[in-house]
Structure 1
Amino acid sequence: MAEAMVELQRVGRNYGATTVLKDVDLSIYAGEMIAITGPSGSGKTTILNLIGLLEKPNQGSLYLFGKPSPSVGSFRARKLLRTHIGYAFQNYALIDDASIKQNLDIPLFYEKISSQKKSERQRAALAQVGLADINVKQKVYTLSGGEQQRVALARLLLKPCQIILADEPTGSLDAGNRDAVMQILHDLHDQGKTIVIVTHDEVVARSCERVHTLR
């Protein structure tokens, strides 16, 4: 069997006296689209935070791309986040009082390309998420929730990543925007990306190849 891209072995995570995860085993393979479900407080977002190198487990082992996960904030962790791991946050994690373009400039900060080339790539990413005609000078706070989520996904398209972690990507959206966002994630999956989605939405979970339920 192929080596897992992500491997959790008897992973535990607690915050003081509160245990959020206990003895979790989970393997995620390259090219999968997997949903992580479970009741509130079961540790769904915590698993994403562990894979996304925002936290470290208190117990057990976590392997990323065949190697033990690096320390949070270390050089290797920062490099993985810059080149391998993309994160779609539940609250979109956009800069509200900045323009769409300023938000899309962030993943291209280290790219040694002309301003024109940056703009072309940004326009292509926006077109891929259904925002081809949007005014990139528009401030993020003026956008609807669905538009903000699409801008956040366009930002992901502009960075090199092999795995996308999506935390309740449709949680605050109506059915139409939910379906549009999921279509974008399915398109990314079809392009070879590994997609890990935390969700409480049964429709979203059923659209994935595999569901891992936390108890």
Structure 2
Amino acid sequence: MRRALAAAAALALVAAGGVTARERDRPLAANPSGFIAAEIAFARLAQEKGQWTAFRETAAPEAVMFVPQRVKARDWLKSQKDPAEAVKWQPHAVYVSCDGNVGVTTGAWQKGPANGYFTTVWLRDPKKGKMAWILDHGDALTTPREAPDFIASKQAKCGSRPGVAIDGGTEGEDRAVGLSPDQTLSWTSVVQPDGARRVTVRLWDGTAMQQVIDDQVAAPAPQN
């Protein structure tokens, strides 16, 4: 029965002239759950193929990490061997631009007795839907983040295209600002000379760019 219905639908499409070029090129609709699915698949890949292999295979060409200074992810990952035990992680929330082409996931990670959190910025190809991460960072926690009953989801308001002010920062710090194409989601990463960093994410609520993530990481302890 299902096959017969599919055949009938295909015939109806042919009778109507098929899918036009304009329809094929129409941007994909916003889908917050797609970013959650990408993060879950990323975590699964780390368990199946290895931690750094998963990072390499899902990174955008311009992706960055912090070790603790900012590095170009693909260059740094070239020399990294997969650890025997890969870190595990789960998304707890997702924040998405109005057009659905940028999403930020944040959640918890575990490795042996250690616990922490992560934040990942994802880019989506507006025509093909392919996801790739462009920024990934996290830190350890003394108290694990409690898993929510449901993954929280929040999308920027549509209909307005606000200008986003760029803060030049202070001398000596490494600052970078990312912005969704529709200017409704922004992310800022700042690394201090001592390795301390801060990653903030803001979402347009129809009136202002509201801060939804503020991750602050202390400078690493000096090596003896």
Same fold (TM over 0.5): no
Looking at secondary structure, tell me which structure has more helix per residue: 1
- When normalised by structure 1's length, the TM-score is 0.25
Higher relative contact order, chain-length normalized (CA < 8 Å, sep 6+)? 1
Q: In proportion to residue count, which structure has more strand?
A: 2
